[in-house]
Amino acid sequence: MTVHRVTLIPGDGIGPEIMAATRPVLDAVSVEIAWDEQLAGMTALEEVGTPLRDASIESIRDTGVALKGPLTTPVGTGFRSINVALRREFDLYANVRPAKTMVPGGRFEDVDLVLVRENTEGLYVGFQHVIPVGDDPKGAAQSVAVVTRQGCERVVRFAFDYAVKHNRRKVTICHKANILKAASGLFLEVARDVSRAYAGRVEVDDIIIDAAAMRLVLDRSQFDVIVTTYMFGDILSDEIAGLVGGLGLAPGANIGDRAAIFEAVHGSAPDIAGCGIANPLALMLAACLMLDHLDETPAADRIRSVLEATLHEGQARTPDLKGNATTMGFAEAVLRRLG
């Protein structure tokens, strides 16, 4: 049996709780994982004086795979996002965020979407500064979006390859090329060029970002896989998560050529840390994406099936899903079904 070496970062806030609920589920499907536990975020800052220590980076470089809990990023001041730093460090250019209806009785019963966003460029490159205006030293602010042909091409190709591999029917290119003619225009131009290589295998269309946001609510049937740039994907992925019940059900995969990091999309929720009520489902689903990446898809499918069955039963749902189960109570219900 193959032993997979994986870096494990419990994270901040509710991170250690949902990680403690997720690991036994992975153990229950008989996939051999050798964990290398590391620190990052506020936890690392408090314990070792830096939010991202060299040992954590070296561990991911060595294993090539990480399962990560949510990390706290200070708002407005303090250190920059460690999530962004990790994506840059390992050039994790493709962010995959699937969303599928799993909880019956919700507002939307038919959601099965995958959003692929570019993960290293756009406004998130961090080229920003304040500009003095008159006597005001902070009279204006400027943020510059950087979009490269190579960056566009590789993430769009990733999205089409994903569609082919997972038998998805269509890829929709989401943009704002009617207004942002340089940056978004380049993305649309490159995406259309790449799509020609998949003619006859994957259907393709494109849509302006604001129309996409509306149509995701009004008519999801026209979407299957969506590919877009960083900020648009950041916004749409949260909207899509809302269609299936919230960020507690939203996993994410950050994939590059040298490494892959899997995580719950939601934040560290310090207001409920230690209360034992956090929903571990997003991290469990992220662990399933990790198993897919490790060519352990039968184990991933087994977990996904049990998660869905547990939610349909309705006896073990956390408060965000209108239940009263604890974090570990949900995990125990899953483990009983896994046998």
* Residues assigned a catalytic role: 124, 176, 210, 234, 238
Whether the Cβ atoms of residue 177 and residue 158 lie closer than 8 Å to each other: no
Q: 67 φ, ψ to 5°?
A: -110, 125
Dihedral sign, Cα of residue 148, residue 132, residue 231, residue 6: positive
Query: Which of these, 165, 174, 161, lies nearest to 226 by C-alpha position?
Result: 174
Q: In what order do the strands lie in the sheet with 203-208?
A: 32-37, 3-9, 65-68, 260-264, 251-255, 94-100, 112-118, 225-228, 170-175, 203-208
Residues 6+ apart with CB under 8 A from 243: 99, 101, 107, 108, 111, 113, 216, 217, 220
Query: What does DSSP say about strands 94-100 and 251-255: parallel, antiparallel, or unpaired?
Result: antiparallel
Query: Which of these, 261, 263, 225, lies nearest to 64 by C-alpha position?
Result: 261
Longest dimension (CA), the chain: 70
Question: Which element (helix H / strand E) includes 260?
Answer: strand 260-264
Torsion (CA) 265, 267, 271, 274 in degrees, nearest 10: 70
Paired with 225 in beta bridges are 114, 171
Query: Which of these, 144, 141, 155, 223, lies nearest to 182 by C-alpha position?
Result: 144
The rounded distance, in Å, linking the Cα atoms of 309 and 29 is 16
